[in-house]
Amino acid sequence: MGDEREFADFVTARMPAILRWAHLLTGDRSRAEDLVQHAFAATYRHWRRISPAGAEAYVRKAVLNAHLSWWRRGWTRHEQPAGELPERPGPEPTGAVDERDAMWAALAGLPPRQRAVLVLRYYEDLHEAEIARVLDIAPGTVKSQAAKGLARLRALGPDLTPVREEQS
């Protein structure tokens, strides 16, 4: 019973952050919710063998693995639970919001692993070596994937040059 309580407390405490992180990874709310539920369920099954300190890393790893493996298998072949319509941010009065929306749309065009590298680097503030360990890839691959991802965002994303000129 104590394990059940601990697990419930863990879910309550960490789900918001992990759900947001999953949303950043996938760019899709329903997919993020499904991945997170899947990862927490896997964690629940092995809860007694997982140390409290490593629980969040376990969940994140489960989310990441499921996301990347599901993407490799072809996400569209799987059922996508969607309790409500995907979010569609409405028009914002400021140009900064438009830029972020444009960047969000550009992120959606990246391959999942490239996107995961950028999320881990610019959201989680992880170093290349840490990203390499999380994604189980070589540090050189992290570097190249980050460079390619940024280059693609420059191409797909908003034109940032006028903004810089205005700011300067």
Partner 1 sequence: MSPVEELLTRTLRDPARTLPVPADPVPAIRHRARRQRRNTALGLAAMVLVVAATLLAPAAAGRFTRPAPVATHPAPRGSGLLEWPASGPLAGDTALVRDAAERWRDSTGTVRLVWAGRVGTDRVVLLQATGSDGTPALAQVADRAGTLTLLTTEPIRDPGVSALRLVDPAGPAARTLLLARPGAVTVRVLLGSGLSAPVPAGGVVDLPGELAGQPVAVLDRDGRVVGDGDLPRPGGLAVVRGDVRLAAAGWDGNVEAPEARDYAAGRVLGSLLGPGPGRSYPVEVAGIEGVGTLDLRSGRQAEPRFYELHRAGRTYLGWVVWVDGTPHCAHLDDVTDSGVQPDALVLRCALPQERAGLVEVHLHNGIRLSGLRLDAARPGETTVARTFPLPLDNGYVSALDALPTGPGRLRLEDVSGQARSPITLPPYEP
Q: Is there binding between residue 13 and partner 1 (CB under 8 A)?
A: no
- Give φ, ψ of 91 to 5 degrees: -65, 135
Q: Are 107 and 152 in contact (CB under 8 A)?
A: no
**Looking at 52, 54, 122, 147, which residue binds partner 1 (CB under 8 A)?**
122
Least spacing, CB of residue 111 vs partner 1, in Å: 16
Least spacing, CB of residue 65 vs partner 1, in Å: 14
Q: Is there binding between residue 137 and partner 1 (CB under 8 A)?
A: no
Structure tokens at 44: 């629940």
DSSP 50-102: S-GGGHHHHHHHHHHHHHHHHHHH-GGGS----SSPPP-PPP-SSHHHHHHHH
The sign of the torsion formed by the CA atoms of 132, 136, 142, 148 equals: negative
Structure tokens at 111: 């391959």
Least spacing, CB of residue 62 vs partner 1, in Å: 11
What does the per-residue mask of binding to partner 1 show for 98-117, with x meaning CB under 8 A? -xx--xx--x----------
Least spacing, CB of residue 74 vs partner 1, in Å: 19
- Structure-token match 């290349």, residue found: 128
CA nearest neighbour of 59 among 24, 20, 18: 18
Q: Is there binding between residue 127 and partner 1 (CB under 8 A)?
A: no
Q: Is there binding between residue 38 and partner 1 (CB under 8 A)?
A: yes
Least spacing, CB of residue 44 vs partner 1, in Å: 4
Residues that bind partner 1 (CB under 8 A): 7-8, 11, 15-16, 19-20, 23-24, 29, 32-33, 37-38, 40-42, 44-45, 89, 96, 99-100, 103-104, 107, 118-119, 122-123, 150, 153-154, 157-158, 160, 163-164
